[in-house]
Amino acid sequence: MSSTDSRDHGSALVERVIAAVAADPGRPVLGYNRFAGPWVEGEPRPRGVDAFPGGHPLSPGLRAWLAYDGGMLERHGWFDEDGNLSPRTLGEIAADEFGEPWHACFEPFSERFGGCFLLPGGSDSRRVLSLGPNGERDESGEYPVFALDIDDLPCAVLMYPGFDAYLADTAGILHPAEGEGYDALKNDRRYAHRMRAHARDRFGGEYELTCLP
- Give the DSSP per-residue string, 118-131: EES--SSSEEEEE-
Enclosing H/E stretch for 116: strand 116-119
Tell me which of 13-22, 37-46, 91-100, 170-179 is least confident: 170-179
User: Of 146, 115, 156, which is closest to residue 132 (Cα–Cα)?
Assistant: 115
Check the CA dihedral 31-115-141-44 and report its sign.
positive
What mean pLDDT is predicted for residues 159-164? 98
pTM of the model: 0.94
Q: Are the CB atoms for 176 and 184 separated by under 8 Å?
A: yes
35 pLDDT tier (thresholds 50, 70, 90)? confident
Query: Which is it for strands 145-149 and 126-130: parallel, antiparallel or unpaired?
Result: antiparallel
